[in-house]
Amino acid sequence: MGNVFVLDHPLIQHKLTHIRDVNTGTKEFRQLVDEVAGLMAFEITRDLPLEEIQVKTPVAEATLKVIAGKKLGLVPILRAGLGMVDGIIKMIPAAKIGHVGLYRDPETLKPVEYYVKLPTDVEERDFIVIDPMLATGGSASAAITSIKNRGAKNIKLMCLVAAPEGVEVLQKDHPDVDIYLAALDEKLDDHGYIVPGLGDAGDRLFGTK
Ligand SMILES: O=P(O)(O)OC[C@H]1O[C@H](OP(=O)(O)OP(=O)(O)O)[C@H](O)[C@@H]1O
Ligand SMILES: O=c1cc[nH]c(=O)[nH]1
Ligand SMILES: [Mg+2]
């Protein structure tokens, strides 16, 4: 079964509290999501392989470490995942970016896919799928299935806030995928919103409500 890591660093918790606040407007919400995504990138890249190279410092020759040529891909789930891309790319600028477009049908809560575009060398890359919200888990599970069907093998999922119901679905559908969260919340409400959550992530990021 996939591991669940809750990245509860004080900086992440502090910023997430302001993200959740209903009085936080679009501009500040977007800025904070970007910052938290960057902080989470530290932890999700902790197992990147290193290799040794020779470097001449101003003082001496030294054998030092750099990241070994690992190919990474980021896959934001549209729309809300887009809000986390820049923060992560600042930390791993060589990553390629794919996109999976999904929306959750408001009646059935089932995901509807409308767009997929991945880097051409999909089989050679490790992927990080990103979406601020893991609610019923339907969208993240469908996005991961979609990229697996196109050849992706090593996949991690990064979300800001999850409900236990969504984590359970992910672990059942994709036991090979580790999940990285800033918070694991209490439950889903009758409309499939995470409680206490942060509301509709896409609408708050893009100011569409
Ligand atoms: O775990 P689930 O129950 O599937 O819900 C989570 C999904 O819902 C939201 O997207 P939404 O459908 O609102 O689309 P949007 O990002 O375009 O607003 C969110 O960004 C996730 O993708
Ligand atoms: O709480 C939720 C659940 C699904 N999608 C969101 O944006 N928020
Ligand atoms: Mg939305």
**pLDDT for 99 beyond 90:** yes
- Of the candidate ranges 103-117, 149-163, 170-184, the one whose mean pLDDT is the lowest: 103-117
What span, in angstroms and rounded, lies between the C-alpha atoms of 79 and 68? Answer: 32
Write down the pLDDT at residue 66. 94
Q: Beta strands of 57-97 (E only): which ranges?
A: 61-67, 72-78, 96-97
Instruction: Read off the pLDDT of each residue in 35-55 and give the average, rounded to a whole number.
Output: 95
What span, in angstroms and rounded, lies between the C-alpha atoms of 51 and 200? Answer: 42
Q: How far is CA 17 from its chain centroid? A: 18
Which percentage of the chain shows pLDDT scores above 70? 100
Selection from 42, 72, 77, 79 nearest residue 204 by Cα: 79
Instruction: Read off the pLDDT of each residue in 103-123 and give the average, rounded to a whole number.
Output: 94
Signed CA dihedral, 141, 186, 22, 43: sign only: negative
CATH of the domain at 57: 3.40.50.2020
Side-chain-facing half-sphere of 161: CA atoms under 13 Å: 23
Q: What ipTM was assigned to the predicted interfaces of this complex?
A: 0.97
Instruction: Read off the pLDDT of each residue in 66-85 and give the average, rounded to a whole number.
Output: 95
- Of the candidate ranges 49-53, 105-109, 159-163, 199-203, the one whose mean pLDDT is the lowest: 105-109
Residue numbers of the domain that contains 84:
4-206
- The residues annotated with a catalytic role in the active site are 104, 108, 200, 203
What span, in angstroms and rounded, lies between the C-alpha atoms of 179 and 168? Answer: 11
* Residues whose beta carbons lie less than 5 angstroms from ion ligand 3: 200, 202
Write down the pLDDT at residue 70. 82
165 C-beta closer than 6 A to ligand 2 = no
Write down the pLDDT at residue 114. 97
Residue nearest to atom 8 of ligand 2 (CA): 200
136 annotated as a binding-site residue: yes
Signed CA dihedral, 87, 88, 91, 94: sign only: negative
Ligand 1 centroid–CA 139 distance in Å is 6
Write down the pLDDT at residue 1. 87
Count the domains in the chain: 1
Residue 123 three-state SS = helix
190 annotated as a binding-site residue: no
Q: How far is CA 87 from its chain centroid? A: 11
Res. 203 pLDDT band, cuts 50 70 90: very high
The rounded mean pLDDT for the chain is 96
Write down the pLDDT at residue 118. 98
CB 185 within 8 A of CB 197: yes
206 C-beta closer than 6 A to ligand 2 = no
pTM of the model: 0.96
- Residues 125-140 have pLDDT tens digits of 999 999 999 999 999 9
CB 130 within 8 A of CB 77: yes
Write down the pLDDT at residue 26. 97
Write down the pLDDT at residue 69. 81
**pLDDT for 106 beyond 90:** no
Ligand 3 centroid–CA 21 distance in Å is 17
What count of other Cβ atoms lies within 10 Å of the Cβ of residue 150? Answer: 13
